[in-house]
A and B are shown apart, each in its own frame.
Chain A
Amino acid sequence: MPDAPGLELIRGEIEQDHPGAVLDTSFDREQPALVVDPALVLSVLSWLRDAPGQGYGFLSSLHVADYLPSRPRFGVHYELLNRDRVERIRVKAMLEDPSAADRRLPEIDSCVGLFPTAEFQEREAYDFFGIVFRGHPDLTRILLPDDYVGWPLRRDFPVGGEPVTFTHNERRYG
């Protein structure tokens, strides 16, 4: 893993190529993380993948966490891995939730072009959190039914909000 000074070096180098891309860094429990501007997330990911001396070429996991009630609300996490040096780094893009104002969904650029492995994982994030990945080839629900309404892994989605059908409460069984 890059240590805390190593992380600041990476931040400095990204800042030279993409000013304003890195908003913050954190080094918590031995895990380095870059908090990036969601509009520039693809530039940072491709820099980490392609810049000489970096080589974070493997996307281990892409997942979303809902930080309600803090703002920005959603964090899209990219767990990158350099398999030669066996180093992980987390890239985090924090997204505001616009839906309160005009029922729109939060949006971010899709990284399927850089990391084809993200295809299923971005669909999963869309399915559960309603994050729209711009440029994804087939952004549809993956685990839930296509006609499902709501984003169930958001923190304000109630447990038990889903009616369970038994024979006694389904009309067709009388």
Chain B
Amino acid sequence: MAEGAVDTQTEVMTINIGPHHPATHGVLRLVVDLEGEVVRDLRPVIGYVHTGIEKSCEQHSYWKVIPFVERMDYVSYFFQMEAFCGAVERLVGLEIPPRARYLRTIFLELCRIHSHLVWLGTTALDLGAVSMLWYCFRDRDRVLDLFEMATGQRMHTRYFQVGGVIEDVPPGFEAKAREFVAEMPVRVKQYQALLDRNEVFLSRTKGTGIVPRERLLDLGVTGPLLRAAGEPWDLRKAFDYLAYPELDFKVPVGTVGDNYDRYRVRVAEMVESTRIVEQALDALPEGPHIADDRKYVLPPRSELSTSMESLIHHFKLVTEGYRVDPGELYYSIESPRGELGCFVLADGSSKPARVHFRDASFVNLQAFRAMSVGGYVADMIASLGMLDPILGGVDR
């Protein structure tokens, strides 16, 4: 090439994707360096939906924090509640009754199915399988119906409380939940039949976005992304929390670690979740749904007109809230996106001094560069869908 001549073949062009774009699954901005169609570098820019939830939590008494944390990862809200309530319960040393453990497990697993359905519908939509969105959201609606039946709300239910759950499930819930979990595996088979023979879907997911398992671990990736690379790491199996040690379920893993494996792992997890819900419904113990400790748990409504003691407790809990002795604790659970950790620092007052959420989407997003660099733009969009970030959780 002559001196001073411009190389027109290998020009690197920097383009901006987002922050408002349907394929970014939220308000995510990507600054991508492209050489033709090939991604040479990539930088995610986040923070567009940062609302300072962690700061807001410090201004409210413990029981008022629960609705705040739910709104971080708005697709898996039950998990945020469990992470926070579980951390506070461990700080104050409160044991939750067996029925509450099982009810929480049931709602967490229904929420996992809900989250994976939202992911499957939107990601398949990105990859050209438009009809999947309507099928997935049809079934998601049935999960939301169950949530509404038990809690009165379809999203952001404030159902988990420190000490248990706010009220028992209504009559008829069990039958409806059983009907749903019996049907869900059939639905999942139908979805697999639609996608596993979809030539476009297969060629866009197979062999794309591969990151070696060691690299994923270095980057702190957890959840289905890590399991798709063949690492059977699941906090439900590793740590002892809620009713999981008493239930029989498998941890699906992939082999190659490409986008197709990520899809397979999540779809298999939905079926495992239905098994967990079914077993938990079978084994659902009778008894109270919330701990009987008046220092932390509201007294039953019926006692308020007859017992002065209950009235005083009710008044104290609603106005000031309960105080938590100084201490700090990190509690983590397996959310649909990986390790969801909650750090609570108590300073002896009725408000937490610090609430920090280790959000799985936030940490997993670091692997996006490794998944995309060297591939085509189209594969990058497929990888982003399979990464399944929820930007409300990333930005908090």
Given A65-B328, A77-B343, A116-B219: A144 touches B363 (CB 8 Å cut-off): no
In the complex, residue of chain B having the shortest beta-carbon distance to the beta carbon of A146? B47
Which chain B residues lie closer than 8 Å to A144 at the CB level?
47, 50
Determine if B332 is an interface residue (Cβ-Cβ < 8 Å). Answer: yes
How long is the Cα–Cα vector from A124 to B353 in the complex, in angstroms? 18
**CB-based contact A79/B54 at 8 Å:** no
Q: How far is the CA of A58 from the CA of B93 in the complex (A)?
A: 28
* Beta-carbon contact of B217 and A58 below 8 Å: yes
Q: Restricting to B29-69, which residues have a CB under 8 Å from any CB of A?
A: 46-47, 50, 52, 54-56, 58-59
Cβ–Cβ contact A145 & B47, under 8 A? yes
Q: Does A95 contact B (CB under 8 A)?
A: no
Q: Say yes or no: A159 contacts B59, CB within 8 Å.
A: yes
Report A-chain residues with C-beta under 8 Å of the C-beta of B221: 117
B310, CB-defined interface residue at 8 Å: no
| A54 close to B (CB within 8 Å) | no
Q: Quick one: closest B residue to A63, CB to CB?
A: B356
Question: Are B365 and A120 in contact, with the CB atoms below 8 A?
Answer: yes
Dominant secondary structure at the B interface: mixed
Are the CB atoms of A143 and B50 closer together than 8 Å? yes
B107 at the interface (CB under 8 A from A): no
CB contact under 8 A between A117 and B354, given known A60-B332, A143-B47, A144-B50:
no
Residue of A nearest to B339 (CB): A60
Q: Which residues of A76-129 are within 8 A (CB) of B?
A: 77, 79, 83, 86, 88, 90, 115-121, 124, 128
How far apart are the CA atoms of A19 and B141 in the complex, in Å?
Answer: 60
> Is A142 in contact with chain B by the CB < 8 A criterion?
yes
Q: Does A59 contact B (CB under 8 A)?
A: yes
Do B217 and A90 touch (CB < 8 A)? Answer: no
- Given the complex, which residues of B lie within 8 Å of A88, measured CB to CB? 330
**How many A residues touch the partner, as a band?**
35 or more
Contact across chains for B238 and A86 when beta carbons are under 8 A apart: yes
Could you tell me if B327 and A28 are in contact, using CB atoms closer than 8 angstroms? yes
B379 at the interface (CB under 8 A from A): no
Q: Decide yes or no whether A71 CB sits under 8 A from chain B.
A: no
Q: Is B233 in contact with chain A by the CB < 8 A criterion?
A: yes
Q: Is B206 positioned at the interface, with any CB of A under 8 Å from its CB? A: no
> Mask for A146-170, Cβ within 8 A of B = 1, else 0?
0000001101010100000000000
B328 touches A28 (CB 8 A): yes
Partner of B52 from the list A29, A61, A152 (CB cut-off 8 Å) is: A152
CB distance from A48 to the nearest CB of B (A): 16
Q: Can you name 8 A-B residue pairings with CB atoms under 8 Å?
A: A28-B328, A65-B328, A65-B356, A117-B219, A118-B220, A143-B50, A143-B395, A155-B58
Q: A residues touching B (Cβ–Cβ < 8 Å)?
A: 28-29, 31, 57-61, 63, 65-67, 77, 79, 83, 86, 88, 90, 115-121, 124, 128, 141-145, 152-153, 155, 157, 159
**Contact residues of B with A, CB < 8 Å?**
46-47, 50, 52, 54-56, 58-59, 90-91, 93, 217-221, 233, 238-239, 327-330, 332, 339, 341, 343, 345, 353-354, 356, 358, 362-363, 365-366, 395-396
Known A59-B220, A120-B366; further 20 A-B contacts with Cβ < 8 A: A28-B327, A29-B91, A31-B330, A60-B330, A60-B358, A61-B356, A65-B343, A65-B356, A79-B343, A79-B358, A115-B218, A119-B366, A124-B362, A144-B50, A152-B55, A153-B54, A153-B55, A153-B354, A155-B58, A155-B353
